[in-house]
Amino acid sequence: MAPPPPPAASSSSQKILIDNSNLSELKLTADEAVERILSSSSKHQAWTISHFHTDLRLALGYVASLLMIGVGVWSYFVEKDWEVNKRPTAVAVAVYVVLSAIQTADAYVQGNRIFYGSRKSPTSPSGPLERLFLSSPPLPKHKLFPHPSTTTTSSDKNPAPAATTKPKGKGMTVPPEYSLYAEYFSPGSSVGKKGKVTLGHFGEWITEEGEFVESIFEERLRSGLAKVVGE
The per-residue pLDDT for range 85-107, each reduced to its tens digit, is 899 999 999 999 999 999 999 99
Instruction: Give CA–CA dist 219/214, Å, rounded.
Output: 8
What rounded mean pLDDT belongs to the chain?
A: 82
Instruction: Give CA–CA dist 214/167, Å, rounded.
Output: 34
145: left (phi over 0), alpha (psi -120 to 50) or beta: beta
Instruction: Give CA–CA dist 47/40, Å, rounded.
Output: 8
Residue stretches of the chain with pLDDT short of 50: 1-11, 150-167
Question: Is-contact 131 185, C-beta < 8 A?
Answer: yes
Global confidence as pTM: 0.74
Query: If we measure between CA atoms, which residue out of 114, 108, 109 comes closest to residue 136?
Result: 114
DSSP output for 140-175: PPPEEE--TT--BS--SSS--GGGBPPPSS--EEEP
